[in-house]
Each structure stands twice: as C-alpha cells, then as structure tokens.
Structure 1
Amino acid sequence: MDVVINEKARDALNRLSAMPGMVQVKDQVEQMVQYHRIAELRKQNRLKTRPQSNHMVFTGNPGTGKTTAARLIGEAFAEIGLLGRQGGDVPFVEISQGSITEAHVGASEKKVTSKFKEARGGVLFIDEAYAFIGNAAHRHDQKVVATMVQAIEDMREEIVVIAAGYPKDMAEFLAFNPGLASRFPNTIHFPDYGVPDLVRIAQQMLLDQEYQAAPDYLEVLASVMWIEKSQPNFGNARTVRNHVERSIRRQSIRVSKMKQPSRKDLATLIGVDLVHSPTDVAHTEREALNRVIQEANGRLFELDLRAILKL
C-alpha cells in the first residue's frame, strides 16, 4: 500500500507552498516526504530501509517565516507518519534560553527533558539556539546542550527538532558540542524577502482581516519597503505587519469622519493610510516644528511692524 497524503497533510503542505519565497525549505520537505513514501514501498517489497534524521537547522533573519514553516512542517509530517503522534493535535513546543534557565543546579536540564517529552509526536522549536551557549558557570551551557543531544538521540523517531537563528551564530552553536552537527543534517537558509514578496505578504495579511489594498496603497508600500530593507534591524514580514496594523488604525480615523461610509470604504486602504516609517514621522514632526517657528517669526514681524508704525 502506498503512503497516503491525507487532506490535513496536503493542506499543511499547500500552505507551506503558498508562502512567498522559501524555495529551499519546500525542496527539502519534498525530499523528506518522498523519501518516506519510497521507504514504505521498499518495506512492502522486502527491501532494506534505513531511517534518516529529519532534524533541521533554520538560518535567517527575523521575520523570514521560520516559525510558521516549522509549524506547517510538523502538521504535515505528523499526518504522513514521519512522527509518532498518538492522535489529537500536533504538539509544537518552543524553547529559548530564557524559558528554561533555572537558578538551581540541574534544574535547567530537567526542564529541557520535560519540554522534549511535551513535544513528543510533534516539533520542538529551539529559537535563537546559540543563546544556550556562553554560560560557563558550573559548565551550565555544556550540561544543557548535552541534555539536548541525548534527548534528540533518544526521541529521533518521535520528534522533529528545529533549531533556528542567525547563520554565523548557528554555526557556533553546532560546533559547541561534538554530537550536535551530526544530529542536524539538514540546514535550510531563509533569505530576506524581496519587495514583491513583502507586498504579497501585506496583501495576504489584509485579506485575512477582510481588507483590500487600493493600487496607490501598494505602490506606496513598495516604495517604503525598498527604503526599509536598507535599514539596520529590518524585520521582513514583521515590519510589513507593523505597517499593516498602523495603516488599519489610520484608515479607521479617516473612515470615521465620513457620514455614511460604504462597505468598500470600510474595507479599503489607500495610500494616505500608510505611515511610511519612523523616518517619515520624524520628517513630518520637523515640518510641523518649522511651521510653528515660521508662525512665531511672523507674529514677531507683526509686532515689530506695529512698533514701527507707532513711531
């Protein structure tokens, strides 16, 4: 019998495929799915099969879709049979250095073990994994990472572990323990989104909330994204989300001034609804300040003129 990709698995894979960019992650997931499918067929034909590790490292800047992709991968893998799920929802457990650090010796290791058990049948997502190294007190970081390595090995057929972070920092994390790199054979890089993808992301965010973007809104947004991408700490989809949320608030103010707004008015964002960027806000504030100064200078001129006329 062939491996059946049921409706839930197909839906998760379709949603992953619909995400802008992510060519690497889509190719990697397709390889894993098809390997599992062919391995099951080989078993049925009495041919040798060897399980492969599905653990992954996601590298990339914030807002490039790493967490969303990890959730969808977990949903698809669980439905296909790549995870030992026992019915119910697919676990998705996130851990970070801050969420497991405990003051008492040995408590952090116990917390790590507990989180791995909680993720059984799903995904354990280690965000900013490199933050776990660097605390040398009582060999704390070595013990925590060693606990992770052991849990990854013990639960290799029950869980997918995805460690995420910046490329350079993740390389340091994998080199920290001799057993780490071999347990994460799949590294996928999430590049920054291009401007067309960022605009598509904004459109989808608006559609999800039953808004639509007028052409001039999208034109202004594209121009803003070209500028934003050159700024330090650019947040990719997070930056887009911030712009969309601010735009919706500004649209609310604009529409509230209409006597009888139509359905289209209530649902449409136009160019003036977009707060371009903090730089633009500062520019607007400078213009307002200049107007105040000019008005003040004008009043002083009037006073001087009146004084002259009295002479």
Structure 2
Amino acid sequence: MRKFAVILSAVILLAACTKPAMDRPGDNGSQATASASGDVSGDKPQGGRGPASVPEEPSPAPTAGTGAISETSAIVVEAAPVGLGSLIGRIFGRSGAQASSAEFVASRAFVAPEQFPPSNFAGYGVLVFTTRPERPAARARFHMFCQAFHQSFSTPDIVLRVTGNDIDMQVVTVLPLSDEAAVKEANEAADAETACAIAARRYDIETALQARRDAKAASDLAAWSGISLDDGRGPWLLAWNPGKTKGKPDALVLAVNLSNTESPDQAIEDFRAWREDIELNPQFWRRGFDPELVRRVTQRWLDRRLPMVLSLLSGGSGSQSPQ
C-alpha cells in the first residue's frame, strides 16, 4: 500500500468588508446570494437551450451564536487518503423557493474566454491547471483528469433533457479552452479521448491563472494562514459562491487540491465525490456553510477514508475545531 500524505484544502473565504453576521437578521446557516444574468454562451448555454435569467432573492445571513461561520473565515480540511479529491461542502449558493423545491444537478462544459464565467447556472467550478500540458508527463496528467471530468458529468442540455433541471438548477464544472471553435470541436467529439486531446492542445491557461489569482486574492483578504494555492502540482478545483462574485473581494471560494491524485480510478473517484457529496447535497446548499453540517459531511468521508482533521479558521473570532 502506498504511503503518502495528501493535503486537501477546502477553503471558504469571506472578506471582512461585508457587514457582520450578528447585525443581520436571519436563520441558522443561510447566506446572502447575488443574482446572475446571461448564460454560458452569451445567448444560449452550451447545449443550445437557454432560459431567461431567473431572479434570485437574497437569503438572510446567519445570526450570531448559531454556529454559522463568521466573516473573514476559512474552512480547512487536511486529509491523508490515497487520491482523495474532494471532501466537503457546497460549491455555490442559491436560496429561496427554487433551492427548496428541486435537487441541484451537476453538469460539465468546455468554455471559451468570452463565455466565462458561465451565467444563469446555480453555480460553477473551474478545473485549473497552472501550466500548459506540453511536456509528455504534463499531457498525460491533463488527459487523466480531463477524461475523468468528461466521463463523470453530462453536458447541460443532456441534464435538462434527462432530469428536467434547467441550467438555473445545475452546478456546472468547466474546463476553459482558448476559443469558441475549440469549444465546439471538443463538444462534438465522439468520445472523451478525442475531446481531451482537443482540450490539451487548446487549454486556456490565462483564464485558469486568472481564476487562481482571484482565489488567492480572496484568501489574502481572509487571512488565509498556512495554505497556499502554489503548493503542489495541481490541478485545482476552484469554485465561487455565488458564481457572480468571482474576482470580488467579498467572494466565497472553495479550493480543492488534486495534486496527489495518481491514477485514472482515483481521478474518477474524486469527481464522483465532487458530484455526489458536494453538488448533489441540496440540504447543504440550502443551509449554507453551517459548521455542524460540514462536520457531518466530513464524517461520511471518515467512514470510508483515512483519518483527517477539520479546522474552522476565522479572522474575526479565532479558530475552531470539531471535537
């Protein structure tokens, strides 16, 4: 059995420029969200179906003393499993009647720079490589993750057709490509191997690096101590909550380090966990980043993975750890 340490950093960051939670009325674990307009392709999502923009009503923020995460805070998860990709949490927030009446469904999309960030979705994550996959080893690693990404999700139009969940009830994970022609070619590819060969040649490194810079800026504002997006070879899964806040100082960011995933099976397991334990957990979405709910999600991983440590770090109220 291989013995190596994996550090998975799941970080949710909220800058101190927002109003303190204790000054805002609301129930336990809920949070404010912003509305989004447009769609993944400007006029239509990738699959060719595009609903009108769905207005969102902001949810009340957590009240003080309820156990909800305070401002300028981060959730840090350290783990020591083999190939553990994702562990906790909701990627993006959406509240109100729609969030409580239907289950969120995961989807995937290749996107061009002009389609980024994707709009009208309930939220989105980005698969970020920090170098172009030009050398043989880097290309092989890119293909491993890209094929797991391709095989683990369906496109938004297929999700709509099969489940009835339009894009406003989908959480999309995206792989940025250099232009719309590359996106079209990858989407029309007959299989994952062909699509990922196109993606490797046309990976949009600038969009990826900008996503990492945005996440690092949010982490700096939240006094993100002891964690670095520069650690490891990657890739990273970065997600914004809500997606419209990407690049803003008050953004909520989730970061997952996949550096120690070594095999295709592990990569598929990482995306399966990302999909099922994160994106398809409507209770977690509705309640927001409630530390107690985070602990319960973590315990599900403890039941089938090696031991891990969960810490809640807050720039305003110190750090907390589960007992």
Shorter-chain TM-score above 0.5: no
Higher percent of residues as strand = 2
Task: Indicate the structure (1 or 2) with the bigger Cα radius of gyration.
Answer: 1
Question: Which of the pair has the greater relative contact order for Cα pairs under 8 Å at 6+ separation?
Answer: 2
Query: TM-score scaled to structure 2, two decimals?
Result: 0.24
Query: TM-score scaled to structure 1, two decimals?
Result: 0.24
Higher percent of residues as helix = 1
